[in-house]
């Protein structure tokens, strides 16, 4: 039924072609390779995955910034076609984007007032509303006193303040969805929590949905209800956050959770159990399950030959792994 889901992705694929000598095809980087998920209005999800697993590519596909290779995106009841200019404009107006790198995200020669007016101008918000919208957004991200900050340029702000400005810009059009790509990975731990709480509060008070991307699993549980674990272009596990932390099913999720230390002197006394090897190439991913070469539980003759489908061993907890067939 339309209206029940805000965003639905079906079997999304985003492959980047590699060129040799500028024209010969040298294969594809399968950055997103068959991903499906649903997002309800005002729901927040986190996508966790290692560097290069395709998180940013997934977001860019949803926003129409990367060309889709296959699959379908439905946003707010309508199929989204990134080739249509009007679809793109509609997506941009309803989705706020917080980029991976706050330092590169802000134009250095604009002051804060200019930076925040821009999306209002582009989306033809009536002029007389601008001042109030800008002030509201700045108060919301606590760039206060507003009058002190309005004439400042990005380089005059600390990393945390810059990131708040990026968030203010993302929410100024009151989007239905915010996508935040590693919004805090460049910041100090002491500032990270502040920014995450800020995002979370804005999401709740405006009933927005949020897709939050990170490689830092330890910050997830304070923030969102559901977590997706991404590995080599695929989502291998979907679960409620608490459930995932307590009872990870996919062997990759298990080693990931195990590898993350809490600060404790006991850590210095023992060695970690870590699977050998490195994340696989996305050009020639391993056959069968992509994690099988590193997996301690791989079943010979199955995991190395057949791709596992999605199983749902517990309600709202699904996993792409043959151990749960």
Ligand X SMILES: Nc1ncnc2c1ncn2[C@@H]1O[C@H](COP(=O)(O)OP(=O)(O)OP(=O)(O)O)[C@@H](O)[C@H]1O
Binding interface with ligand X (CB under 6 A): 16, 29, 31, 49, 51-57, 100, 215, 282
**Contacts of 308-315 spanning 24+ positions with Cβ under 8 A:** 313/249, 314/243
Nearer to Mg ion, 56 or 219 (CB): 56
240 binds another protein (CB under 8 A): no
**SS3 at position 89:** helix
Residue 75 per-residue DSSP state = E
Q: How far is the CB of 71 from ligand X (least distance, A)?
A: 16
Question: How far apart are the C-alpha atoms of 79 and 8, rounded to whole Å?
Answer: 9
Q: Which is nearer to another protein, 12 or 227 (CB)?
A: 227
Answer whether 176's CB lies under 8 Å from 94's CB.
yes
Least spacing, CB of residue 34 vs another protein, in Å = 22
Instruction: Please state the closest distance from residue 16 (CB atom) to ligand X, in A.
Output: 3
Sole binder of another protein in the list 8, 56, 209, 219 (CB under 8 A): 219
* Residues 125-164, interacting with another protein (CB under 8 A): 158-160
Name which position in 207, 218, 305, 306 contacts another protein (CB under 8 A). 218
Shortest reach from residue 73's CB to another protein, in Å: 28
Taking CB under 8 A as the criterion, the residue among 109, 147, 155, 262 binding another protein is 262
Check if the beta carbon of residue 106 is closer than 8 Å to that of residue 116.
no
Length of the chain: 325
Q: Lay out the site mask for another protein across 263-282 (x = CB under 8 A, - = otherwise).
A: xxx-xx--xx-xx--xx---
**Contact of residue 306 among Mg ion, ligand X, another protein, none (CB under 5-8 Å per partner type):** none
Contact predicate 291/304, CB 8 Å: no
> Is 284 an interacting residue with respect to another protein (CB under 8 A)?
no
6: nearest Cα among 42, 52, 48:
42
Q: In terms of CB distance, is 134 or 217 closer to another protein? A: 217
Q: Which long-range contacts (CB under 8 A, 24 or more apart) does 105-109 make?
A: 105/162, 105/166, 106/154, 106/162, 106/165, 106/166, 107/154, 108/153, 108/154, 108/155, 109/153
The answer to whether 168 and 116 have CB atoms below 8 angstroms apart is yes
**Cα–chain center distance at 162:** 19
- List C-alpha distances in Å: 56 to 31, 49, 67, 241: 9, 10, 13, 21
Site residues for Mg ion, window 49-68 (CB under 5 A)? 56
- Cα distances from 137 to residues 11, 155, 295, in angstroms, run 36, 20, 47
Binding flag, residue 34, another protein (CB under 8 A): no
The residue (of 64 and 248) whose beta carbon lies closer to another protein is: 248
Shortest distance in whole angstroms from residue 316 CB to another protein: 21
Site for Mg ion in 285-324 (CB under 5 A): none
Which residue from 58, 199, 202, 256 is in contact with another protein, where contact means CB under 8 A?
256
- Judged by beta carbon, residue 10 or residue 215, the one nearer ligand X is 215
Nearest residue to 179 (alpha-carbon basis) of 208, 215, 218, 217: 208
Binding site for Mg ion (CB under 5 A): 56
Residues at the interface with another protein (CB under 8 A): 50-51, 158-160, 187-194, 197, 215-219, 221-222, 245, 255-257, 259-265, 267-268, 271-272, 274-275, 278-279
């Amino acid at each position: 039924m339309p209206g029940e889901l805000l965003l639905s992705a079906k079997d999304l694929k985003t492959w980047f072609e590699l060129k040799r000598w500028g024209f010969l095809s040298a294969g594809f980087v399968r950055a997103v390779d068959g991903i499906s998920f649903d997002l309800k209005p005002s729901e927040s999800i986190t996508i966790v995955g290692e560097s290069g697993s395709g998180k940013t590519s997934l977001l860019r596909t949803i926003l129409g910034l990367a060309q889709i290779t296959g699959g379908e995106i439905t946003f707010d009841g309508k199929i989204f076609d990134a080739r249509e200019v009007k679809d793109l404009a509609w997506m941009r107006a309803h989705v706020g984007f917080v980029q991976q790198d706050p330092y590169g995200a802000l134009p250095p020669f604009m002051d804060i007032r200019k930076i925040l007016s821009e999306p209002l101008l582009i989306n033809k918000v009536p002029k007389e509303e601008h001042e109030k919208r800008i002030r509201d957004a700045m108060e919301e991200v606590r760039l206060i006193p507003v009058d002190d900050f309005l004439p400042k340029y990005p380089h005059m702000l600390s990393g945390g303040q810059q990131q708040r400005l990026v968030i203010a810009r993302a929410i100024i059009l009151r989007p239905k969805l915010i996508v935040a790509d590693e919004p805090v990975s460049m910041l100090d731990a002491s500032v990270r929590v502040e920014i995450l709480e800020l995002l979370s509060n804005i999401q709740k008070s405006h009933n927005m949905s949020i897709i939050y991307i990170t490689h830092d699993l330890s910050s997830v549980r304070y923030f969102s209800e559901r977590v997706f674990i991404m590995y080599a272009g695929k989502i291998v596990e979907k679960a409620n956050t608490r459930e995932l932390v307590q009872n990870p099913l996919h062997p990759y999720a298990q080693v990931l959770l195990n590898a993350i230390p809490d600060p404790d002197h006991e850590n210095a006394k023992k060695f970690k159990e870590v699977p050998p090897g490195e994340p696989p190439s996305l050009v020639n991913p391993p056959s069968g399950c992509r994690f099988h070469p590193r997996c301690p539980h791989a079943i010979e003759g199955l995991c190395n030959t057949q791709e596992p489908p999605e199983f749902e061993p517990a309600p709202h907890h699904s996993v792409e792994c043959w151990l749960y067939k």
